[in-house]
A = this chain, B = another copy of it.
Amino acid sequence: MELKNQEDQYLSSVKNALRILKSFTMDEPEKKVSDISTSLGLNKSTVSRTMATLASEGFVHKDPETKKYSLGLSLLSLSSIVNSNTDVYRESYPVLNRLVENLGETAHISVIDKLEVIYLQKVECNHPVRFLTHVGRRNPPHCTSSGKVLLAYADEELVNAVLEQGLEKYTKNTITDPIKLLANLKEIKKNGYSTSFEELNEGVNSIAAPVYDYRGKVIAALSVVGPKQRIQSHKVQGFAKKIIAAAKEVSDRMGYRG
């Protein structure tokens, strides 16, 4: 008998519901039944009934006036549980706090999930903020300091998968040549930290260092982000030293011995 199709073993109506949830984005946080039906290729009665079920458990909320759906507070509740169980989340918090006070810039902890960088933890500086990042946000790995440091220490197959999905150009500084990216990753591993100079957003620079677990595996990145006026090229060495030290401290608290 032929090998079973992987998709055949999943519950299709549950899949529908999850795909509907994931269709909401920052750019489109409110959606109509008909829009979802069109974009996901599902019958409008299917979408309507699935939405009613999601709403009954608080996963979406229907605006009674506009009839549009948005994501519901049950997701917020569950997300607060996601992190509570993550060692790096808890152990990094005091370290990020001190780093932010020390450097005066916003700091994050992030990991790679499904070929993207996702921010688990954020401690903000006192400067007026522009919501460039936030916990839960996903970003491409090839043009963020977090992403590049995680790729530098990652398995070759993860790196290859990222290269295969393409290196999208976000600014004039984005590295889109695979050969140049691989060279950059090698340099990052040598330096022990990575940088991104306006590679994802104009005017925004960041520096990141690897966080190790007790087995010596790189499991997260600790990064600092700010405007290029405050994170200038000539300051990078001093910032990097402190960021590496902070990442080392988080690693130590994770049971790393190196």
Interchain CB contact under 8 A, B126 and A29: no
Q: List B contacts of A136 (CB < 8 A).
A: 76-81
Interchain CB contact under 8 A, B10 and A113: no
Interchain CB contact under 8 A, A13 and B15: no
A254 contacts the other chain (CB 8 A): no
A190 contacts the other chain (CB 8 A): no
Task: Give the distance to chain B from A128, nearest Cβ to Cβ, in Å.
Answer: 7
Comparing A65-73, A141-149, A217-225, A229-237, the segment that makes contact with chain B is A65-73
Interface size class of A (residues with CB under 8 A): 35 or more
Residues of A within 8 A of B (CB): 9-11, 13-19, 21-22, 24-26, 29-30, 49-50, 52-54, 56-59, 70-85, 93-94, 97, 101, 111, 113-114, 118, 120, 126, 128-129, 134-138
A-B contact pairs, 15 of them (CB 8 A): A10-B49, A13-B13, A14-B50, A14-B54, A17-B18, A24-B81, A70-B82, A70-B85, A73-B113, A75-B82, A76-B136, A77-B137, A80-B134, A80-B136, A80-B137
Central interface residue in A15, A54, A70, A84, by most chain B CB within 10 Å? A84
Interchain CB contact under 8 A, A78 and B13: no
If A18-B59, A75-B78, A80-B134 are given as contacts, then 15 extra A-B residue pairs at C-beta distance below 8 Å, sorted by A number, are A9-B52, A10-B53, A11-B53, A13-B14, A14-B16, A15-B56, A17-B17, A18-B54, A71-B79, A72-B82, A76-B79, A77-B136, A81-B136, A93-B129, A101-B126
